[in-house]
Amino acid sequence: MKKIGQEFINGTKYPNISNSDESKEIAPPARTREPQARETFDLPEVEKLDLPEVPIPQALVSRRSRRSFQDKPLDSSELASLLFYTQGIKRKLPGGKSLRTVPSAGARHALETYLYLHRAAELPRGLYHYRAEKHKLALLQEGNLMAKVYRGTLEQKFVQQAAAVFFWAADIYRMAWRYSERAYRYIMLDAGHVCQNLYLTGEVIQAGVCAIAAFDDDYLNDFLELDGREQFVIYAAALGSRKKKKN
């Protein structure tokens, strides 16, 4: 049995990590990435969203992975809710920092949200990037890309039913600038926080969610035009309108 996992744990223990670039007084990296886009779309303002009131205990208890979805498009209000409550900025702070709807080690927020929209009411089908700083969606590739998404997620059949597939990509130096090699631990924890918020927001808007950890890393990195070293896919999730229970 290979010992890569144990080597990773040992190598990222505090006594074994190198001095961070922050400790060397090297300037921090940019806090966001903005890949070149064909077009950008405004999302509804969060303050104007009219979401159902669902108690947190109820959302937690009802939350589960769902792999069966209705053939129903997502509207812009639903998309705005899902994106804001998974990576949205609540308050901007001095120095380019921000407080978001999810926790992140040192408030580094080193994840970028990519989104393949297969069925949307007001937006064209295609691959998008969420501009958290501006609460906008940027269209990167237009068209039916489900064949690529399906292949990249190892041909898991439920993915083909999804209205949207979320991809979270790590911008690892944004985290490693402060935490050196230990950043690889923290970015995985951050991804878990984000996906849990997607599940809970899905419960509120009656959407089903299924997290995806099994995917072809290299294929998806190429699909999202990530280099696979400094930026790489770390987690994914399929989402669609929840199927109604049969009586």
Q: What domains sit in the chain, N to C, each tagged with a CATH number?
A: 4-241 (3.40.109.10)
CA 37 to chain centre: 18
Q: What is the mean pLDDT of residues 11-20?
A: 97
Is the distance from CB of 125 to CB of 143 less than 8 angstroms?
A: yes
137 burial level (CB within 10 Å; 0-12, 13-18, 19+): buried
Question: Helix-strand-coil percent breakdown of the chain, rounded to 5?
Answer: 35, 25, 40
Q: Is the pLDDT of residue 174 over 90?
A: yes
**Positive or negative torsion for Cα 132, 118, 206, 45:** positive
Question: What's this model's pTM, rounded to 2 decimal places?
Answer: 0.95
For the chain, give the mean pLDDT. Answer: 94
Q: Is the pLDDT of residue 247 over 80?
A: no
User: What is the tens place of the pLDDT at every residue in 199-237?
Assistant: 999 999 999 999 999 999 999 999 999 999 999 999 999
User: What is the tens place of the pLDDT at every residue in 104-118?
Assistant: 999 999 999 999 999
Q: What is the mean pLDDT of residues 81-95?
A: 92
C-alpha span between 206 and 88 (Å, rounded):
20
Q: Is the pLDDT of residue 54 over 50?
A: yes
Q: Which pLDDT score, from 0 to 100, does residue 244 have? A: 72
Q: Is the pLDDT of residue 196 over 60?
A: yes
Q: Which pLDDT score, from 0 to 100, does residue 245 have? A: 64
Q: Is the pLDDT of residue 184 over 90?
A: yes
Return all residues near 80 (Cβ < 8 A) that are at least 6 apart.
Answer: 43, 44, 45, 46, 49, 135
Q: What is the mean pLDDT of residues 136-163?
A: 98
Q: Which pLDDT score, from 0 to 100, does residue 146 have? A: 98
Q: Which pLDDT score, from 0 to 100, does residue 51 have? A: 86
Q: Which pLDDT score, from 0 to 100, does residue 246 have? A: 55
Q: Which pLDDT score, from 0 to 100, does residue 222 have? A: 98
Q: Is the pLDDT of residue 154 over 60?
A: yes
C-alpha span between 164 and 126 (Å, rounded):
10
Is the distance from CB of 177 to CB of 21 less than 8 angstroms?
A: yes
